[in-house]
Amino acid sequence: MTATVDLAFKAIPKNSTAFLIWRIEHMQLAPVPKDQYGNFFEGDSYIVYAASEYGKPVAADSKPVQIHGIPEVHIHFWLGKETTNDEAGVAAYKTVELDDYLGGSPIQHRETQGSESTRFKGYFKMGMRILKGGAASGFNHVTDMFEPRLFHIKGRRSPTVTQYPISWEHFNSGDVFIIDTKEIVFVWVGRSANNMEKLQACKVAEKLRDEHKASSIVFVDDGKENSLPVCERTVFNAHLSLSNRKVKSAEDAGADDVQEEADQGTLTLYHCSDEDGTYKVTEVKSGPLEQTDLTSEDSFIIDNGSKGIWVWIGRKASSKERVEAMRNAQGYVTKKGYPSNTLVTRVVDGGEPIEFKALFSSWKERNQTTGMGKQSTVGKIATTVNNKFDASTLHEKPKLAAESQLVDDGTGELTVYRVEKFQLVPVPDKLQGVFFSGDCYVVKYTYLTGGTEKYLIYYWLGQHSSQDEQGTAALKTVELDDELGGAAVQVRVVQGKEPAHFLNIFKGKMIILHGGKASSFDGEGAKDTGIPDDFLLQVRGNDSHNTRATQLCVVW
């Protein structure tokens, strides 16, 4: 442990979950106000501290919670594309200092603007907002002076919000843009924009409206700007001249998924050593990796191509290797000629996050306990219905799972949520199995196979549900999967097309009723509907895995 440590780090609570951000200002650490979490200036560098229990993701707006045991700590240093070399250097140095202060156990991540890791973006449920300027512009809350702004929303799983000067040259039909004019917040929706981008834009627009008390939020469809009412069209035209309208195609904008899924066949393992005083990196193997490839006496680099570089520090490695791991890894990136924004993450022996373990064909924990969930789930799962089908193959062979459908007898642990105003609201136990055709639901199902917890996440889309509800259901399914470290199988379910296993987990008692909760876009006068006093159900099926009851319209 270092003899002295920056006073800023003294604010970190011990034996507790926590989320803290500091910005480098005049070569010093300055705490970022919590109401500014998620805002990053491209001219600055930041350090982000995230501590959680059992590796569960922590949200930026979460409050510290005392825990038993040692939290899993992730330290990220984020570098804006316009940050100076000295600020970036201070961020890296202070990250090492913080790591040393915490005993060398945290997982370190190097993040760069535009290439942030999924974990990093997942902290900010309202999305990241990349702003122009830097420390000089600071967190000044401007009240009298307002400068209109353009925000670009792009991405499929975790859309990022980036500020640009207001100009048609930034527009394309594949994304969503926000023109913040203070009086009116315009949300311009590209014709090929995905649901995640639309949903994120709604959240950002609401936040902007509340920040400076704008009179309204106006949605503008790509190519239909001239259909706006006269007063709104006048304001829009004052900031973006319709006579100069020129929008790029969705193809010109590039793919929403900047980084493709990792391919284990491209993994390369390198052995690192400084025994003779010279740091050497030697290739060990390529292709699928085994946990036994790592030895505690040494350090290793795992090259995962476009997904980034991992540095693993054995518990018996030298202190020099531990302290200089990030610098050596960055040197490896430079030597390989990889882009400067390549993700670099350092992990220590015994403190590996789920993303790292997933790179290996198998991973056995020291003093392992079963799964991430509650011990009460153990023993609840009965044998597989079809004895010729192992439930674990659902994760290995999704197509086979889809054909056989029944992965167990449906007695696993069940949690049901309904989408209400962009949020997931738990459904009471007594109403689980009752669905409204005007709503969307997310169903998390946990079961055991081979002594390990597995997860299914169904998102059910009612026949009369709105687009924003469907988009929210898909987004929240991704977020739940991220919370489980990407370990879940996601299944999209449409009303009337429920698979056998989905019906089976409700024991043949699934009921679909008319109506539902008012959508976020239904207006102030929209009413919620509940279970009617009298209704007629049509029941179809003869077993728990093929039975559902649907409300019929009654004509007397």
Same domain, 268 and 237: no
Q: pTM for the complete prediction?
A: 0.52
The three-class DSSP label of residue 552 is strand
The full DSSP string for 454-501 is EEEEEEEE-TT--HHHHHHHHHHHHHHHHHTTT-EEEEEEETT---HH
Same domain, 414 and 513: yes
Task: Look at residue 272 and tell me whether its pLDDT is greater than 50.
Answer: yes
At 470-481, the pLDDT tens digits run 888 888 888 888
**Is residue 371 assigned to a domain?**
no
Task: Look at residue 142 and tell me whether its pLDDT is greater than 80.
Answer: no
The CA–CA distances, whole Å, from 453 to 359, 369, 375, 396, 413 equal: 19, 11, 10, 15, 10
Same domain, 406 and 477: yes
For 207-279, list the strands marked E by DSSP: 216-221, 268-273
Q: Of 158, 151, 162, 140, which Cα lies nearest the Cα of 185?
A: 151
Mean pLDDT of 170-181: 93
pLDDT score at 556: 45
Would you say 248 and 171 are in contact if contact means Cβ atoms under 8 Å apart? yes
At 17-60, the pLDDT tens digits run 999 999 998 888 999 999 889 899 999 999 999 998 766 668 88
Report the alpha-carbon distance of residue 178 to residue 127 in Å, rounded: 14
* Domain span at 175: 145-244
Same domain, 309 and 413: no
**Is residue 258 assigned to a domain?**
no
Same domain, 49 and 119: yes
Task: Look at residue 165 and tell me whether its pLDDT is greater than 60.
Answer: yes
Q: What CATH number corresponds to the domain at position 82?
A: 3.40.20.10
Mean pLDDT of 130-144: 58
As a whole-number percent, the residues of the chain with pLDDT over 70 amount to 83
pLDDT band at residue 428 under the 50/70/90 scheme? very high
Report the alpha-carbon distance of residue 52 to residue 339 in Å, rounded: 31
At 205-233, the pLDDT tens digits run 888 888 778 888 999 999 999 999 998 99
Same domain, 307 and 444: no
Report the alpha-carbon distance of residue 439 to residue 548 in Å, rounded: 17
Among candidate residues 335, 362, 389, the one where a domain is terminated: 362
Q: Of 270, 353, 254, which Cα lies nearest the Cα of 304?
A: 270
pLDDT band at residue 317 under the 50/70/90 scheme? confident
Q: Of 162, 120, 149, 132, which Cα lies nearest the Cα of 253?
A: 162
Q: Of 380, 400, 384, which Cα lies nearest the Cα of 453?
A: 380
Tokens coding 190? 């590209």
The number of folded domains in the chain is 3
Task: Look at residue 389 and tell me whether its pLDDT is greater than 60.
Answer: no
Angle in degrees, CA 226, 228, 229, rounded to 5: 125
Task: Look at residue 393 and tell me whether its pLDDT is greater than 80.
Answer: no
Same domain, 183 and 64: no
pLDDT band at residue 319 under the 50/70/90 scheme? confident
Angle in degrees, CA 200, 56, 309, rounded to 5: 80
Q: Describe the strand order of the beta sheet including 216-221 as a list of residue ranges.
A: 39-41, 129-131, 160-164, 149-154, 176-180, 184-189, 216-221
Same domain, 412 and 352: no
Would you say 473 and 461 are in contact if contact means Cβ atoms under 8 Å apart? yes
